[in-house]
Structure 1
């Protein structure tokens, strides 16, 4: 009877490793998804602030008023003189806005309050 000295893992050892990896993933993945959602939310808040900055700078340098239209998960920036021409379109995945229009003029270039709903259903406001 000869014993071969084949080096390798047994089937039981491989199964134990797979089970441990599965348990680790079942713990880590839900937390990872929550972190991704938080990062998306913060990124969209920053994007919203940049829209306000863009609108104020645009009205100041072009001396022409803008209209910012909020509609559910979309924001449209249009010129007040040519409302049918959309200057910018922004899509959001985690923020929801009530239907509203903001008018930004070169003379009245102050931030305005915008309300939105977070992914958790909370109502929040931000200066735009």
Structure 2
């Protein structure tokens, strides 16, 4: 008795198309979530960058002895420090237009800034470089 073995190797075209369709559906479902998460993380990093920028400029104003002007508008921050301008662009943050002054005692006026966040405006407080300690 002789047996015939089917020597077919690989996958049929229909099997490959089914697998590709399943992968496309899974990628479509998870792709939006991944993009949203990456955007949210980028926003958090940029907010931290703004906090660090105010802290660094507070030290500069305090130790160099001259005030620093700062303008937030759209996705940029323009810093005027000793008649020199620097512009910083942000990818995710959109600022409410406002001008800030960092005085030589490192205080920032006004002490809050607004960012367009998920179709709403969020307000953030600028932390001062030096904390005020009250004696008890």
Return the TM-score normalized by structure 1: 0.84
Runs in 1 of length 4+ with deviation above 3 angstroms?
A: none
Instruction: Give 2:112's aligned residue.
Output: 113
Structure 1: gaps spanning 5 or more residues: none
Structure with the greater alpha carbon radius of gyration: 2
1:49 matched to 2:48: no
CA RMSD of aligned residues (A): 1.8
Structure 2: gaps spanning 5 or more residues: 127-136
1:17 matched to 2:19: yes
How far apart are the structure 2 equivalents of 1:52 and 1:76? 12
Return the TM-score normalized by structure 2: 0.79
> 1:1-128 counterparts in 2 under 5 A?
5-79=7-81, 81-82=82-83, 85-86=84-85, 88-107=86-105, 109-111=106-108, 112-118=111-117, 120-128=118-126
